A and B are shown apart, each in its own frame.
Chain A
Amino acid sequence: MSETKPKLAFYWAASCGGCEITITELGMRLVATSKKVDIVFWPCLMDFKYSDVEALEDDEIDVCFFNGAIRSSENEHVANLLRQKSKLLVSFGSCAHTGGIPGLANFYDAESILERVYDTAPSVDESRGTRPTPSFEVPEGIIEIPTFYDQVMTLDQTVEVDYFMPGCPPVADQVWNVFQTILAGELPDKGATIGVDPKTNCDVCPREKGEGGFRVTEWKRPHEVDLDPDLCFLAQGVICCGPATRAGCGLPCISGNMPCRGCYGPPEGVFDQGAKLLSAIGALIDTEEPELVAQIMDTIVDPGGLSYRFGLANSVMAELKYRQRSQESDT
Chain B
Amino acid sequence: MSQKISIDPITRLEGHGRIDLFLDEEGELANAYMVVPELRGFEKFCEGRPVEEMPRITQRICGVCPLAHHVAAAKAGDAVYHVDPPPAAKKLRELLYASFFVADHATHFYALAAPDFVVGPDAPKAERNLLGVIQKVGEETGSRVLQLLQDNHEIAAIIAGRYIHSVGCIVGGMSKPITEDERQRIEELAARSVETALFSLQLFDQVVLQNQRYVDMVLSDAYAHETYYMGLVDQGNRVNFYDGRVRVVGPEGDELLTYEPHEYLDVVAEHIEPWTYLKFPYLKSVGWKGFVDGPDSGVYRATPLSRLNAAEGMATPKAQAEYERFYDTLGGKPVHATLATHWARLIELLYAAERTVELAQDPEITSDQIRTIPTETPTEGVGIVEAPRGTLTHHYVSDERGLLKRVNLIVGTTNNYAAISMSIKKAAQDLVKAGRVIDDGLLNKIEMAFRAYDPCLGCATHALPGQTPMIVRLYDHQQELVREIRRD
Measured CB to CB, the residues of A under 8 A from B are 12-28, 30-31, 34, 39, 42-52, 68, 71-72, 74, 100-102, 104-105, 107-108, 112-113, 116-118, 121-125, 127-128, 130-133, 136, 138-143, 145-146, 148, 168-169, 171, 221-227, 229, 252-258, 261, 301-302, 305-306, 309
Which of B86-94, B166-174, B190-198, B221-229 is the contact stretch?
B166-174
> Could you list 6 further interchain pairs (A-B, Cβ under 8 angstroms) beyond the known A27-B150, A140-B30, A141-B2?
A18-B66, A24-B462, A28-B463, A52-B469, A229-B176, A258-B56
B14 at the interface (CB under 8 A from A): yes
Distance from B62 Cβ to chain A, minimum over Cβ atoms (Å):
5
Q: List 25 A–B pairs whose Cβ atoms lie within 8 Å, in order of A's numbering.
A: A14-B14, A15-B63, A16-B60, A17-B14, A21-B64, A21-B163, A27-B149, A42-B460, A45-B465, A71-B38, A74-B38, A104-B46, A121-B270, A121-B408, A123-B408, A128-B272, A132-B276, A138-B275, A142-B479, A143-B20, A146-B38, A253-B167, A256-B161, A256-B176, A257-B175
Q: Are B16 and A43 in contact (CB under 8 A)?
A: yes
Distance from B52 Cβ to chain A, minimum over Cβ atoms (Å):
4
Contacts known (A15-B14, A101-B57); A305 close to B279, Cβ less than 8 A: no
Contacts known (A28-B143, A44-B459, A124-B270); A49 close to B175, Cβ less than 8 A: no
Distance from B168 Cβ to chain A, minimum over Cβ atoms (Å):
6
Q: Are B35 and A30 in contact (CB under 8 A)?
A: no
Contacts of B39 in A (CB 8 A): 71-72, 113, 117, 132, 148
Distance from B292 Cβ to chain A, minimum over Cβ atoms (Å):
16
Contacts known (A101-B57, A105-B41, A125-B270); A31 close to B463, Cβ less than 8 A: yes
Q: Which 10 A-B pairs have the closest CB atoms?
A: A18-B63, A256-B161, A45-B466, A20-B460, A140-B22, A113-B41, A47-B469, A258-B167, A101-B60, A16-B63
Closest to A305 in B: B49
Q: Are A116 and B162 in contact (CB under 8 A)?
A: no
B277 at the interface (CB under 8 A from A): yes
Distance from A137 Cβ to chain B, minimum over Cβ atoms (Å):
9
- Number of interface residues, chain B, beta carbon within 8 A: 111
Contacts of A118 in B (CB 8 A): 272, 279
CA distance A176 to B368 in the complex (A): 36
Contacts of B62 in A (CB 8 A): 16-18
Contacts known (A20-B459, A74-B16, A105-B40); A123 close to B56, Cβ less than 8 A: no
Closest to B56 in A: A261
Closest to B4 in A: A141
Closest to B271 in A: A127
Q: Are B44 and A39 in contact (CB under 8 A)?
A: no
CA distance A258 to B170 in the complex (A): 9
Measured CB to CB, the residues of B under 8 A from A are 2, 4, 8-9, 11, 13-16, 20, 22, 30-31, 33, 35, 37-41, 43-50, 52-53, 56-57, 59-64, 66, 77, 81, 107, 129, 131, 142-143, 146-147, 149-150, 153, 157, 160-168, 170-172, 175-176, 264-265, 268-277, 279, 281, 284, 288, 371, 373-374, 395, 401-403, 406, 408, 410, 456-457, 459-467, 469-471, 479, 484, 486-488
CA distance A22 to B66 in the complex (A): 12
A-B contact count (CB 8 A): 314
Contacts of A124 in B (CB 8 A): 269-270, 272, 279
Q: Are B462 and A113 in contact (CB under 8 A)?
A: no
CA distance A250 to B86 in the complex (A): 30
Contacts of A258 in B (CB 8 A): 56, 161, 167-168, 170, 175
Q: Are A30 and B462 in contact (CB under 8 A)?
A: yes
Q: Are B401 and A301 in contact (CB under 8 A)?
A: yes
